Amino acid sequence: MAFNITGRFIKIWEVDVKEKMVLCDLSTSEKNKDGEWEASNYYKVKFVGKCFENAKTLKKGDTIEIINGKIGKRKYQEKYYDDVVVFAYRMEEGQKQSEPSGFQPVEDPAINDRLPF
């Protein structure tokens, strides 16, 4: 049995690109009943399917929102482990998105001083 995940913001800590998936260490946080923030850490979360290619560009410090994912259990050598899989996500608003193919940064300092960003 698995639970679906939606609308959850997470912070990326480590990224490991594999052949068919991207594995990320990440954390979430929420306020407890005393109003203090508590963090939860998840290790080796799998980014697969349609989000696989974009997940290759994730880096430490990125914040994303999970649009579609699931949490379940998997058995490995007589023990059960959490299995978190993300199928779709979006970058937090205001973060730099991955650059389109062919984009070249402007290197001329005189031009950079005139750019609005």
Q: Is residue 25 part of a domain?
A: yes
pLDDT at 37: 80
How do residues 15-39 score in pLDDT, each as one tens digit?
A: 999 999 999 998 888 888 888 888 8
Determine the pLDDT at residue 95. Answer: 54
How many angstroms separate the CA atoms of 113 and 92, rounded? Answer: 27
55, part of any domain: yes
Six token digits for residue 68 = 């579609």
Identify the domain containing residue 33 by its residue range: 3-93
The answer as to whether 116 is a domain residue is no
Q: How many domains does one find in the chain?
A: 1
Residue 31's CATH number: 2.40.50.140
Is 56 within a domain? yes
Q: Given pLDDT bands bounded at 50, 70 and 90, which one contains residue 6?
A: low
Residue 99 covered by a domain: no
Burial class for 54, CB neighbours closer than 10 Å (0-12, 13-18, 19+): middle
Residue 39: inside a domain: yes
Categorize the per-residue pLDDT at 113 as very low, low, confident or very high, splitting at 50, 70 and 90: low
Does residue 98 form part of some domain? no
SS (H, E, C) 91-116: ECCCCCCCCCCCCCCCCCHHHHHHCC
The answer as to whether 37 is a domain residue is yes
Q: When comparing pLDDT for 49 and 92, which is higher?
A: 49
pLDDT single digits (tens) 52-110: 999 999 999 999 888 888 888 888 899 988 888 999 988 876 554 443 333 344 444 55
